[in-house]
Chain A
Amino acid sequence: MEIPYTVDVRPDTGLSNGKFGVWLFLASEVMLFAALFSSYILLRVGSVEWPHGYEELSVPMAFFNTVVLITSSVTMVMAWASLKMNDFGKFRLYLGLTILLSFVFLIVKYFEYSHHLHAGEGPWHNTYYAIYFTITGLHGLHIIGGIVVNAYLWGPGAKMWQTAKERFTNRIEIAGLYWHFVDLVWIFLFPVLYLL
């Protein structure tokens, strides 16, 4: 049985099912992070003292990671544009760079986490570190999820390019939407947790 509307658009939505589905998923993701941001506001407003992020965390490391994640968003959209221009070689290069940058982000995060944990500043240390580890931990899990999907599309999943070019291009666009969302969340996390 053929899956409907993987390439053709549905007459009622004007979109392929995959694209509409991922936007609905991202809407639910917005609410997931909204709950945590809301918790952050509640904890901060209700506390007697709240540390400045720049006194507790490493701003240079987070700045570097912000640059890494923004760059990975560019390479992701370039991977999609390469397929649109029928250049599979460049697609492989750009998606490969996206995956590489994702690992760089996680490695930097590992050094940040291990520094704080060795200093006894785990999630149990105070409310600030509890919300810091919860939100960045969830974001990190999203990075890992993105790596798994992108690695599949870079490797075995790329075979689809030989048989269904347009469908594969749609898959990359959808994976890109998710990846840009992960970048977008970090764009707000960085100032909220590190700079204020």
Chain B
Amino acid sequence: MDAHAHSVDDIKKSVKTYMMVFGALMVLTIITVGVSYVHLPVVAAVTVALIVATIKGSLVAMFFMHLLHERKVIYWVLMLTVVFFIFMMFVPLLTNSNKIPGTTPGTMW
């Protein structure tokens, strides 16, 4: 909840939220492990694992790190970071169309 909240009542409400988020994180962790035992095709497994991890990460950031009610300047800093992060994640994938001698790119999935 709001990091800027000061009243004891506000904090008590926040504590209830923290417990609900804790429960949600535990359930999502069990789902992540459960899905891995199904042995989905790699593309589906990667998609499901990353979606669940993103939901869990968002819960931690929004509630435990109080990002839900944060100042604009932090949102700007994080947006810039996300842009660079996505860029870095996609750059290596370009190599998939760039044949490496002795390997068969694109077949690992």
Closest to A192 in B: B49
A-B contact pairs, 29 of them (CB 8 A): A13-B71, A13-B73, A14-B72, A23-B78, A27-B78, A27-B81, A38-B91, A41-B89, A41-B92, A42-B92, A44-B108, A46-B100, A46-B105, A50-B108, A70-B29, A77-B18, A78-B15, A84-B6, A84-B11, A85-B11, A173-B3, A180-B61, A180-B64, A183-B60, A184-B61, A187-B56, A187-B57, A188-B57, A196-B45
A100 within 8 A of B: no
Q: Which of A101-139 contact B (CB under 8 A)?
A: none
Q: Give bound CA distance, A77 to B36, whole Å.
A: 30
A155-196 with Cβ < 8 A to chain B: 173, 176-177, 180-181, 183-184, 187-188, 190-192, 194-196
Q: Tell me if A's interface is mostly helix, strand, loop or mixed.
A: helix
**A86 vs B6: C-alpha distance in the bound complex, in angstroms?**
11
The reply to whether B74 and A15 contact each other, CB–CB distance below 8 Å, is yes
Docked pose: A30 CA to B65 CA in angstroms: 15
Instruction: State which size class the interface on B falls in.
Output: 35 or more
- Could you tell me which residues of chain B, from 45 to 67, have a CB within 8 Å of some CB in chain A? 45-46, 49-50, 52-53, 56-57, 60-61, 64-65
B5, B25, B103: which has the most chain A beta carbons within 10 Å? B25
Chain B residues near A (Cβ < 8 Å): 3, 5-6, 8, 11-12, 14-15, 18-19, 22, 25-26, 29, 32-33, 35-36, 42, 45-46, 49-50, 52-53, 56-57, 60-61, 64-65, 71-74, 77-78, 80-81, 84-85, 88-89, 91-93, 95-96, 100, 102-105, 108
Residue of B nearest to A76 (CB): B64
Asked if A24 and B18 sit within 8 Å, CB to CB, the answer is: no
Given A15-B71, A67-B29, A81 and B18 touching (CB < 8 A)?
yes
A136 to B102: give the CA distance in the assembly, Å.
30
A3 CB within 8 Å of chain B: no
B46 nearest CB neighbor, chain A only: A196
A47 CB → nearest B CB, Å: 6
Tell me if B's interface is mostly helix, strand, loop or mixed.
helix
Please name the residue on chain B nearest to A86 by beta carbon.
B8
Q: Give chain A's interface residues, CB within 8 Å of chain B.
A: 13-15, 20, 23-24, 27, 30-31, 34-35, 37-39, 41-42, 44-50, 54, 59, 63, 66-67, 70-71, 73-74, 76-78, 81, 84-86, 173, 176-177, 180-181, 183-184, 187-188, 190-192, 194-196
